[in-house]
Amino acid sequence: MTRLLVTGGTGLLGGAVVEGARGRGWDVTASCRRVPGRSPADGVAWAALDLAEPGAAGALVERVRPDAVIHTAAMTSPAEAEADPARAFRVNAAAAGEMAAACARAEARIIHLTTDLVFDGQSGPYGEEDVPTAASAYGRSKAASEAAVAAAHADHVVVRTSLLLGRSARGDRGVDEAMERTLRAGGRARLFVDELRTPLAADDLAAVLLALCGHAYRGLLHVAGPAAVSRYDLGVRIARARGLDLSLLEAVRMADVPGLVPPRAPAPVLRTDRLRALLPALPRPRALDAVLARR
């Protein structure tokens, strides 16, 4: 049995990883900022972890002594990171480096999650060999986290990914469920036609992460959806799949919204050639319409 530590276990991706690991019969410890009163997953050991606290990430690894760590926890709001970049670097970069160093001492593999927003989106699509060019504090903090993990531990995989779809415990973490909640309440959504991303299902990404726990691959790996779509096109597809009112969607261009904070990356599209080369050893993310067709 594999002993796995999952940070951010109550989040959309972390929850999918926990569920997938338990389905494999693994011994799972999951962290969150506040331990839930009732465990959302039977048989999971829960631990509190505040990444803003220096040393806390390393101490948790030393206490759990896992065979592998899947590190999904982060400050994920670009707006919050732009407002407090020092905290973003503490939570996203410094804590990741501390966790990786603790994994090195424990001889545990670490799989660290980062983002397509390490790129400014001006000259994609991007491969693993491309140098990060983040336009936002969030993207810069995640680029710094990649370097910190790589410097601290040889047995690592840094997984860059994109927008995630799926159902979360809170009901608002997946891009699709957040959009559905807005439209069902009659709210309007202004969506960019010139911002391209490569969305994928959280449980598809979780399956890749779990497979990587026992795979020999090390280094950077892009795991993203098979096709790039605009934010507006994504909204249309979500609305159609859920039977929602398309008239509530407004197509806009980034130039129509002056003073965007944080700065937007127009097309941080990830190439996934390396992931495809590793198939069939790793699962393949499904096409967007197949993901949306499943409730």
Q: Can 217 be counted among the known catalytic residues?
A: no
Q: What is the rounded distance in angstroms from the CA atom of residue 165 to the CA atom of residue 176? A: 6
Q: What is the rounded distance in angstroms from the CA atom of residue 157 to the CA atom of residue 111? A: 5
Q: Which residues contact 132 (CB under 8 A, 6 or more apart)?
A: 118, 119, 139, 143, 146
Residue 16: closest CA among 173, 220, 139: 173
Buried-state track 93-103, b at ≥16 Cβ within 10 A, e below 16: bbbbbbbbbbb
Helix axis angle, 12-23 to 202-212, nearest 10°:
50
Q: What angle do CA 186, 187, 189 make, to 5 degrees?
A: 135
Helix axis angle, 231-242 to 175-184, nearest 10°:
60
Q: Any idea what DSSP says for residue 259?
A: T
Q: What is the rounded distance in angstroms from the CA atom of residue 15 to the CA atom of residue 18? A: 5
Q: Which residue among 126, 138, 217, 232 is the active-site one?
A: 138
Asked if 226 and 186 touch (Cβ cutoff 8 Å), the reply is no
Q: Any idea what DSSP says for residue 172?
A: -
How many alpha carbons lie under 13 Å from residue 23 in its C-beta half-sphere? 11
Buried-state track 181-211, b at ≥16 Cβ within 10 A, e below 16: ebbeeeeebebbebbbbbbbbbbbbbbbbbe
Residues annotated as part of the active site: 138
